[in-house]
Amino acid sequence: MSKPTTSSAAAAPAPAPTLILSQLDGRVGTLTIAHEDKLNCLSHALMDQLMAGLDTLVRDGANVIVLRANKGVKVWSAGHDINELPEPRRDPLSYGDPLETLLRHVQDCPVPVIAMVEGTVWGGACDLCCSCDMVVATDGSTFAMTPAKIGIPYNASGLIHFVHHIGLNKAKEMFFTARPTTVTEAWNNGFVNHHVPAEDLERFTYDLAGRIARNAPLAVRAIKAQFRLLTRGALIDAETAERIQAIRRQVYDSADYAEGIKAFKEKRPPVFTGK
């Protein structure tokens, strides 16, 4: 019997869907998160396109970048794509993971990045806003930090972001409760720079961006680079760093971590046992 023939030209992989739209008007770049049918979840593909989008706009001469979703979204971003969280017993937010790589990419972007927010923001997308240089949000926006709801220990650099932005006690409340924080609270916390009526969001944000774009680009870049170096978090010794890892490992090795993800996928409340 003749051997089955294998097609010599394997079918070309379908092109990845465009999840991030990019635009450059003069010196103001815009990246639009455009994956509403998955609530703009931060999937690996979307995060890769976001990082590439930042690099392209900077290469093409942007002096400032606005990061936004499409006008009128109810959910700006539902955070990390939970279906892509690594299987239990592996650190879900280690240094090299896509979300952590994206957050550093935004912080290391040579030009200021302004998060223009409307709707609700969840988990890693909150940290994405925290990693931007400024946040302008509509009056109805909310921000929720969700690791405790899922059973995730979060990570040291992420926790430091929030302590720096909103202070220790409010960061603890945001993480311990996983409650959506209203934009008024977020403004009082220092999490957002401005909150405006939805109809003013675009005008206000692009006025702010235009003002930055017209300033001396080398000076703005040098000032951003200095802020980045000066706010890299608390200095900790090696033993403390190892102790933090040990604390985190106990959590992502736990049955609760597996349960948090499983419950989400099964659309039921999680039953945490503390084991």
Nearer to ligand LCV, 110 or 270 (CB): 270
DSSP secondary structure letter of residue 37: G
Q: How far is the CB of 275 from ligand LCV (least distance, A)?
A: 20
Q: Which residues of 154-173 are buried (b: 16+ CB within 10 A; e: fewer)?
A: bbbbbbbbbbbbbeeebbeb
Output the CA torsion sign for 165, 167, 171, 173.
Answer: negative
Residue 252 annotated in active site? no
Nearer to ligand LCV, 58 or 178 (CB): 178
Contact positions vs ligand LCV (CB under 6 A): 38-39, 41, 75, 78-83, 85, 92, 122-124, 146-147, 149-150, 152, 154
Q: How many CB atoms lie within 10 A of CB 269?
A: 9
Q: Enumerate the H helices of 214-270 as residue ranges.
A: 217-230, 238-252, 255-265
Phi and psi torsions of 92, nearest 5°: -80, -15
Q: How far is the CB of 167 from ligand LCV (least distance, A)?
A: 19
Residue 206 annotated in active site? no
Nearer to ligand LCV, 81 or 256 (CB): 81
Catalytic residue among 124, 151, 158, 260: 124
Nearer to ligand LCV, 64 or 97 (CB): 97
Q: How far is the CB of 210 from ligand LCV (least distance, A)?
A: 32
Residue 95 annotated in active site? no
Catalytic residue among 80, 161, 165, 195: 80
Cα-only R_g, the chain? 20
Nearer to ligand LCV, 53 or 92 (CB): 92
Q: How far is the CB of 125 from ligand LCV (least distance, A)?
A: 7
| Nearest position to ligand LCV, beta carbon | 123
The edge-to-edge listing of strands for the beta sheet with 20-25 is 20-25, 28-33, 64-69, 113-117, 134-138, 194-196
Extract the tokens encoding 224.
């951003």
CB distance 135 to 114 below 8 Å: yes
Q: How far is the CB of 119 from ligand LCV (least distance, A)?
A: 9
Measured CA distances, 168 to 82, 122, 161, 173 (Å): 27, 20, 10, 9
Q: Which residues are catalytic?
A: 80, 124, 154
